[in-house]
Amino acid sequence: MIIGVPKESFPGEKRVALVPAVVPTLAKAGHEVVVETSAGLAAGYPDADYADKGARILASRGEVFAASEAVFQVLCYGANDKTGGEDLPLLRRDQVLMGFLRPLGSPETVKEIAATGAIAFAVELMPRITRAQSMDALSAMSTVAGYKAVLLAATTLPRMFPMLMTAAGTIAPARVLVIGAGVNGLQAMATARKLGAVVSAYDIRPAAKEQVLSVGARFVELPLEAADAEDKHGYARSQDETFYQRQRELLARVVAESDVVITTAVVPGRKAPVLITAEMVARMASGSVIVDLAAERGGNCELTRATETIIDHGVTIIGPVNLAGTAPYHASQLYAKNLTTFFLHLVREGKLQLGLEDEITRETLLTQGGEVVHPRVREALHPQGGYPTLERRTS
């Protein structure tokens, strides 16, 4: 198949879907790669590097879509709510589209993609099972975001992270609290520890304690029990408001004692739960920092504003969006490996395998034959029920 890599069109997005290093891997499997000129330049990958590895450079976005049987993007329409809709006329029937599509957050855009006849796969729906780990782009990007969140906090905090013993006196280490022990939270913990901070963490999932301890952080235990804390895909489940109210009450003291709080709690397809209220912020010491990695979903802090940095009661609250994109060279490298592995899993002997008996295919396939085929997205489109039943395709 011919795989096309257009330049990312979302404002400020510097990542690229494929890097030159994976082109020979795809070529060995019989595939050809075409790349829009300058697609990788902002991430540190010039056209000459792609050409040296055997890719063809095409002059325009339209040429890439027209020449490709499969299109790889970082932010497809849905995840790209600014300019992504401009790609709809370029898609055609049975053309494969792979990337982040935010299907549970914007199901209507999936319906529009389905109308083009394209076969779309959402990488953020990759099941968290052992054999899919090398394809898990969401985890890879979360790793970058967790790392960058700590650096952002460290440069904002008006004190240093490590304990230092100097002739002028001893400097106490910073106290960092990470709420949410997913991939980004664990990376944040590990990075904060490397910088010398004293790190604590909290998560509603009981299984998270062992993971928190494994990176050298202290697990904050609250006398609070969550019902069905984790779904079958390994993600935290949404709880009722009574639970969150009690959680906030118990977390208030821990938050107030922290110099830095990094929040990472999100529930796929839903608004992020509020874990830190304005009252809790007011109890924090002046100069403290909150980095809210759930900002794009509404924020875990009541005061968070997505893409903005504000100061309230002397506390700096940062609402970053797309932190992974601020390290585009390595983020693109990781993403390209994820996408390449995923594609080679789906395409064997030159043919796209759409058997729904495979969990990886079943969980990521969004559209096929002009229809939205993913059950959870169909439910999101028809929240009152009554959505039509599809005949399950097996090939």
**In total, how many domains does the chain have?**
2
- The pair phi, psi for residue 212, each rounded to 5°, is -60, -45
Q: Are residues 152 and 39 both part of a single domain?
A: no
Domain membership of residue 224 (yes or no) is yes
Residues 9 and 96 in one domain: yes
Residue 393 forms part of a structural domain: no
Active site residue 128: yes
Options 47, 81, 235, 237, the catalytic residue: 235
- Summarised one tens digit per residue, pLDDT across range 238-247 is 777 788 888 8
Q: Are residues 319 and 346 in the same domain?
A: no
Whether residues 149 and 113 share a domain: the answer is: no
For residue 206, give the DSSP letter: T
Write out the residue range of the structural domain in which residue 311 sits. 145-326
Does residue 80 sit in helix, strand or coil?
strand
Alpha helix (H) ranges present in the chain?
23-28, 47-52, 61-67, 107-115, 137-156, 183-194, 208-214, 241-256, 278-282, 328-346, 359-364, 375-381
How many other CB atoms sit within 10 Å of the CB of residue 14? 20
Residue 392 lies in a domain: no
If asked whether residues 89 and 150 sit together in one domain, one would say no
Active-site hit among 68, 73, 95, 139: 139
Q: Are residues 9 and 78 both part of a single domain?
A: yes
> Among the options 38, 60, 133, 214, which is catalytic?
133
Q: Are residues 278 and 255 in the same domain?
A: yes
Last residue of a domain, one of 326, 351, 371: 326
| 225, 314: one domain | yes
At residue 269, the pLDDT reads 77
Q: What's residue 395's pLDDT?
A: 41
Please report, for the domain that includes residue 73, its CATH number: 3.40.50.720
Check whether residue 107 and residue 185 sit in a common domain.
Answer: no
Q: Is 139 a catalytic residue?
A: yes
- Asked whether the CA dihedral 382, 383, 386, 389 is positive or negative, the reply is positive
Would you say residue 361 lies in a domain?
yes
- The catalytic residue among 128, 159, 362, 376 is 128
Domain membership flag for residue 136: no
What is the per-residue pLDDT across 3-54, written as a single tens digit (0 to 9) for each?
999 999 999 999 999 999 999 999 999 999 999 999 999 999 999 999 999 9
Q: How far apart are CA 123 and CA 139, in angstroms?
A: 10
Instruction: Establish if 30 belongs to a structural domain.
Output: yes
Report residues of the chain scoring pLDDT below 70.
225-237, 385-395
Contact (Cβ atoms closer than 8 angstroms) between residue 393 and residue 361: no
338 in the same domain as 259: no
pTM exceeds 0.85, yes or no:
yes
Output the pLDDT for position 242: 84
Say whether 136 is catalytic. Answer: yes
Distance CA 370, CA 133 (A): 30
- Is there a domain that residue 138 lies in? no
Regarding whether 239 and 276 lie in a shared domain, the answer is yes
> Which candidate in 61, 106, 136, 200 is catalytic?
136
